[in-house]
Amino acid sequence: MALSETGTNHFKNYIAGEWIEGDSQVENINPSDTRDVVGLAVRSGGADLDRAIDAAHDAAPGWARSTPQQRYDILDAVGNEIIARKDELGRLLSREEGKTLAEGIGEVVRAGQVFKFFAGEAVRLPGERLDSIRPGVEVDMRREPMGVIGMITPWNFPIAIPAWKIAPALAYGNAVVLKPAELVPGSAWALAEILSRSGLPEGVFNLVAGRGSELGPRMIENPKVRAISFTGSVPTGRGIAAACGEHLKKVQLEMGGKNPLVVLDDADLDVAVGAALNGAFFSTGQRCTASSRLVVSEGIHDRFVSALTEKLKTLVVGDALDPKTQMGPVVDEKQLEQDLSYVEIAGQEGGKLAIGGERLTLEKPGFYMAPALFTETSNDMRINREEVFGPVASVIRVKDYEEALHVANDTSFGLSSGICTTSLKYASDFKQKSEAGMVMVNLPTAGVDYNVPFGGTKGSSFGSREQGRYAVEFYTTVKTAYTQP
């Protein structure tokens, strides 16, 4: 099915090897130009979801018996096609989500790389053998597929997040039911379309778009689904974990962040400003790894704030598909309202708005906002406790490294953290003591590799890690086999 790059597409669901209509349709609106309808996306109800789960359940045993070479060939070909079509798929992604075209294309390439990485993992599935404590008995430990995996994904990485859940699930022999976020049905559809031609047996992969509040609980309650992988907000994740506990279902959650970027007096100023600009504002600040708290020591504070403010003054906000644009729009009206409300809250709490923070009216009607930087904030303000998920960052002034470390860790989240310093001593100490799942030295808090684990501590993550070979933990179960030859 061809993708229209400028017209309105029809995004259907993919269940049991067939493209199907749902109960109703929703418009997929371009946040850079609300007159542009990217697609009409079908919305399925519970009956379609049940059919998808049944199909996955029927297909799972056959796929579990597929050879590593078959899995390799399919996943590698899917990865190759995604990468070969990076411009077209990147355009679709940026058109429906609003990140810049360069970011959209980069995300598509990442999705392709993830499929190719897990193609390799499929032929590298590890097992283990131990000597039994009993004479003559042999013991081995095997990794086996879980069965049907339910996936619930958010809107901010419309193709990469589905990819890093689907690829390992398939590599390790599972069947999949994906429920993508309502705001970005197009990228999920494009991925499903590629998978539908990949040689996967019918039912091994299913796409069911619909309301999260309706399909999510129904997916969790279905006994045929053995595990749920979720990325999204903390409140939704908490509810999912509770429901999975009730149904004794394996669960993996990736949620929010309030990620600190520490800047010490001895930092290279250009490196620090570059890391802050990228970490806080690229992808319109809509990344769970965004640096929303800039924890800056006294000696460099004023120089850092003025250099970052200068950069923000010239940052080009505009249509995601315009090559001159450096920051695209916010994803939708609701998110924009949330971002603007936090600007107001931060001001009321005593934060000083250094720049930005207002809605922008540009030539095209869209959800545009000037990137906001607050100074003179303290770590107990709401702007530093709660995830905004927009182009809003705040500076917290600290005395020295010790205070910076304390502030960085004083949060209910723990996804990513960063430090800009030229001191080996502070860099080493921070890597050791930072209470985050990912620590960056002289790098933005956002932007990760696909061959290593992704995830956090405290309220940011729950369950085992995603990505890299650590993904095997979630997508397999262990069988211990004893033999008396």
Which residues form the catalytic set? Answer: 254
Residue among 79 and 150 whose Cβ is closer to ligand ADP: 150
Report in angstroms how near the CB of residue 225 gets to ligand ADP at its nearest. Answer: 12
- In the region spanning residues 127 to 166, those forming contacts with ligand ADP, defined by CB under 6 A, are 152-155
What is the per-residue binding string for ligand ADP in 79-98, x denoting contact by CB under 6 A? --------------------
116-124, 212-220, 438-446, 466-474 -> range binding ligand ADP (CB under 6 A): 212-220
Residue among 212 and 455 whose Cβ is closer to ligand ADP: 212
Answer for the pair 166, 74: CB distance below 8 angstroms, yes or no.
Answer: no
3-state helix, strand, coil in the chain (%, to 5): 40, 25, 35
Report in angstroms how near the CB of residue 323 gets to ligand ADP at its nearest. Answer: 28
Near ligand ADP by CB under 6 A: residue from 6, 131, 213, 323:
213
Near ligand ADP by CB under 6 A: residue from 120, 217, 299, 447:
217
Q: Which residues contact 357 (CB under 8 A, 6 or more apart)?
A: 340, 343, 369, 370, 372, 392
DSSP string, 183-244: T-HHHHHHHHHHHHTTTPPTTSEEE--S-HHHHHHHHHH-TTEEEEEEES-HHHHHHHHHHH
Residue 461 CA to residue 232 CA, distance in Å, equals: 10
228-236, 362-370, 397-405, 461-469 -> range binding ligand ADP (CB under 6 A): 228-236
Report in angstroms how near the CB of residue 229 gets to ligand ADP at its nearest. Answer: 11
Answer for the pair 415, 314: CB distance below 8 angstroms, yes or no.
Answer: no
Q: Is 212 in the site for ligand ADP (CB under 6 A)?
A: yes
Of 57, 50, 453, the C-alpha closest to 252 is 453
Residue among 233 and 423 whose Cβ is closer to ligand ADP: 233
Report in angstroms how near the CB of residue 240 gets to ligand ADP at its nearest. Answer: 5
Provide the residue count of the chain. 485
60-68, 118-126, 178-186, 297-305 -> range binding ligand ADP (CB under 6 A): 178-186
Phi, psi of 143 (to 5 degrees): -95, 125
Query: What Cα–Cα distance (Å) separates residue 91 from each residue in 105, 162, 184, 390?
Result: 7, 17, 13, 21
- In the region spanning residues 313 to 342, those forming contacts with ligand ADP, defined by CB under 6 A, are none
Near ligand ADP by CB under 6 A: residue from 22, 232, 391, 463:
232
Residue among 233 and 309 whose Cβ is closer to ligand ADP: 233
Residue 310 CA to residue 312 CA, distance in Å, equals: 5
Helix axis angle, 86-97 to 101-122, nearest 10°? 120
- In the region spanning residues 182 to 211, those forming contacts with ligand ADP, defined by CB under 6 A, are 182
Q: What end-to-end distance do the CA atoms of the chain give, in Å?
A: 55
Coil, strand, or helix at residue 304? helix
Residues that contact ligand ADP, how many (by CB under 6 A): 16
Answer for the pair 391, 246: CB distance below 8 angstroms, yes or no.
Answer: no
Residue with tokens 């924009």: 336
- In the region spanning residues 37 to 56, those forming contacts with ligand ADP, defined by CB under 6 A, are none
What is the per-residue binding string for ligand ADP in 239-278, x denoting contact by CB under 6 A? xx--------------------------------------
128-136, 232-240, 339-347, 366-374 -> range binding ligand ADP (CB under 6 A): 232-240
Paired residues of 327 in beta bridges: 317
Report in angstroms how near the CB of residue 50 gets to ligand ADP at its nearest. Answer: 16
Report in angstroms how near the CB of residue 321 gets to ligand ADP at its nearest. Answer: 23
Residue among 256 and 468 whose Cβ is closer to ligand ADP: 256
Q: Which residues bind ligand ADP (CB under 6 A)?
A: 152-155, 179, 181-182, 212-213, 216-217, 232-233, 236, 239-240
